[in-house]
Homo-oligomer: A and B are copies of this chain.
Amino acid sequence: MNVVTLLTDFGLDDNFAGVVKGVILCRNQKAQIVDISHNVPPYDIMQGAFLLRGSFSYFPPGTVHVAVVDPGVGSQRAILAVKTKRYYFLGADNGVLAPALDAEKPLSMVRVENKKFFLHPISRTFHGRDIFAPVAAFLSKGGNMAQLGPRVKNFRRLRLPRARRSGKRILGEIVSIDRFGNCITNITPADIAGCARSLRAKVKNTTIKGLSGSYASVKEGQALMAVNSFGYLEIAVNGASARERFSLNKKNSIEVILR
């Protein structure tokens, strides 16, 4: 297997993602390249980290996960290659890999510095093409990580904001909003353990009661709370957009009351 995933803020209008794929294929013609998303909002490390955390474990062992959300491209920021039990990760040391690495412990980690593996001339504005792509190809062929650069022990953390509990109240926030307008919070099943049935959430001026199993378990057009498929509490509307219904945005606070 030679799966390489790409998660970037390159968008799909330009040729950036295509060129990265070309370079990977030049160096590993058997690479099977899968897009996680190229529509991370520009420079939004948090959203890139969130998507990588929710995606990496669904790929075959040996997959090389490449995250290029890299506002510091061309600066002295490090690029890290990380080996875990099942995967390789490649990304700038800006936190984009951190939530994934909190979930899948690094076994070894190097700072990618060996120019021998890069595409030359090395630009200072498109390391996706000149560094990430050829190094991903190298890793996908089973290359020895130690050749890429010196071993490092730490990486920059980026913890997703945690929900806070105070007595019967949990104060969380919206950390992501998906295409359907489902508003994903940072509240997990552990936070509400044992209280699912008696839950109430305050979303702006509306109160949503109880936890639903699926969107379709309430009437069309009705709001609901559910634990989503990635393990977070989300606010949704059956057949419509909770974002639009309640004018919600990322970072809006959500209060959940247990009884």
Q: Specify which chain B residues have a CB less than 8 angstroms from the CB of A228 in the assembled complex.
A: 123, 125-126
**Chain A, range 1-34, C-beta contacts under 8 Å to B:** 1, 3, 5, 7, 9-19, 21-23, 25-26, 29, 32-34
With A59-B26, A179-B10 as given contacts, are A71 and B18 in contact (CB-CB < 8 Å)? no
A149 interface hit (Cβ, 8 Å): no
Instruction: Check if A58 sits within 8 Å of B123, measured CB to CB.
Output: no
CB distance from A135 to the nearest CB of B (A): 15
**A47 CA / B159 CA spacing, docked (Å):** 40
Let me know if A215 is at the binding interface, CB within 8 A.
Answer: yes
Mask, A227-244, CB within 8 Å of B = 1, is 011000000001101000
Any chain B CB within 8 A of the CB of A147?
no
Interface residues, chain A, CB within 8 Å of chain B?
A: 1, 3, 5, 7, 9-19, 21-23, 25-26, 29, 32-39, 42-43, 51, 54-55, 58-60, 63, 71-75, 77, 123-126, 129-130, 178-181, 213-217, 226, 228-229, 238-239, 241
Top 4 nearest A-B pairs (CB, nearest first) are: A74-B214, A126-B229, A11-B179, A123-B229
